Amino acid sequence: MKIEELHRLRLCTLPTPLMEAPQLSAKLGGPRILIKRDDLTGLAMGGNKSRPLEFLMTGAKDMGADVIITAGYEQSNWVCNQLAAARKLGMDVILFLVKGNRRFQGNLLLYKLLGAEIKFTDIEISDLPVLYKQMDDMAAELRSQGRRPYVVYYEAVGLLGIASYVLLASEIRKQLQEKEITAQYLFLTSGSGCTQAGLILDAKYFKAPFKVVGVMPNHRYSREQRVQMITDYANETAKFLDMNLTFKSEEINYYDEYAGENYSGPTKKGIEATKFLAGTEGIFLDPLYTSKSMACLIDQVQDGRIGREDTVVYYHSGGLPIIFAHNEELIA
């Protein structure tokens, strides 16, 4: 299926800006840096998770759903954007949360403001089948009451979601062409691997000049597992979109040195990068995801792997609410 044939709702403010970062570039002594501002997508304080929802929520809309049943953890940008999208489409929301912190800060506060019916559980994220059973039971109960529930499991965004990131890459390429800029690198935080899969697929298909560089944010999977996931996602999506190309794992540029020691916590370098960007460009990064790819970019500039004459696009994928759940670490 060609990408232009896919059914898509309009939930975001697109295209998001591709902005020069002259103060950041000057402070680092070069290179030229531009920031793709997907923190400004316009849904639930922004973020790149709004893009796949333009495709994925079509299923709920087409079946006439009046309530979304979804799952995640207390600081999930993905969940927050789902809730906002459902509300924008006139749907109620029931949210099952895995075991975690129950303080109403960051995204958890936004869940409450969005009017979600929150089900706190003590289920570990490693025990998702138990969670899915509760979600399915809830859906069955709602159907018996005449409701039309749509269940969204705690999984990657799927082929439709990755297709939205192929369009993101196309958007970046077009903006660079309009500015008559040739970039050598595109940096991003790459957790599930879906965003990076979409970016490399478009970049390879259209022979973009930049190298896509992903940075691992946490230790849910090993580097080898994530690289294989990105490779598989890209190949499956290429087939789905009738794009005649394939990837091998050695083509994937991916760094795992910035994830930190904990499963998914802030890091010293990430916090420094957050403060550095705020102090130069007035742009905020979150301490769990985007800060880590910025830390990687800064290191590669400072050690000379990225030259002064190079041009870099930094992909800001959003996630700002998480800042407020980590205030103590950020002000230390």
* pLDDT digit string, tens, across residues 1-35: 789 899 999 999 999 999 999 999 999 999 999 99
Residue 69 confidence (pLDDT): 97
Q: Which of 152, 179, 206 is the last residue of a domain?
A: 152
What are the strands of the beta sheet with 149-152, ordered from one edge? 117-120, 92-97, 67-72, 149-152
CB atoms within 10 A of CB 204: 18
Residue segments in the chain with a per-residue pLDDT below the cut of 50: none
Cα 201 from Cα 186, distance rounded (Å): 13
- For residues 222 and 82, membership in a common domain is answered with no
- For residues 170 and 57, membership in a common domain is answered with no
- For residues 220 and 311, membership in a common domain is answered with yes
CB 280, CB 286: distance < 8 Å = no
Residue 264 confidence (pLDDT): 76
DSSP H helices in the chain = 22-28, 50-62, 77-88, 106-113, 128-144, 158-179, 194-205, 223-240, 268-281, 290-302, 327-331
User: Three-class SS of residue 219?
Assistant: coil
Give residue-wise pLDDT tens across range 175-200.
999 999 999 999 999 999 999 999 99
Residue 126 confidence (pLDDT): 84
Residue 163 confidence (pLDDT): 97
Rounded-to-5 percentages of helix, strand, coil across the chain: 50, 15, 40
Q: Which of 125, 152, 179 is the last residue of a domain?
A: 152
Q: How many domains are contained in the chain?
A: 2
CB 189, CB 286: distance < 8 Å = no
- For residues 249 and 326, membership in a common domain is answered with yes
- For residues 286 and 146, membership in a common domain is answered with no
- For residues 206 and 295, membership in a common domain is answered with yes
- For residues 113 and 71, membership in a common domain is answered with yes
| Segments forming the whole domain that contains residue 224 | 3-48+158-331
- For residues 118 and 35, membership in a common domain is answered with no
Cα 123 from Cα 99, distance rounded (Å): 5
- For residues 147 and 68, membership in a common domain is answered with yes
Cα 216 from Cα 238, distance rounded (Å): 23
- pTM of the model as a whole: 0.95
- For residues 31 and 54, membership in a common domain is answered with no
CB 163, CB 291: distance < 8 Å = no
CA 314 from centre of chain: 14
Residue 144 confidence (pLDDT): 98
Q: Which of 104, 129, 152 is the last residue of a domain?
A: 152
Residue 332 confidence (pLDDT): 75
Helix (H) or strand (E) holding 36: strand 32-37
**What CATH number has the domain bearing residue 181?**
3.40.50.1100
- For residues 302 and 316, membership in a common domain is answered with yes
Tokens matching residue 182: 């040739």
- For residues 34 and 125, membership in a common domain is answered with no
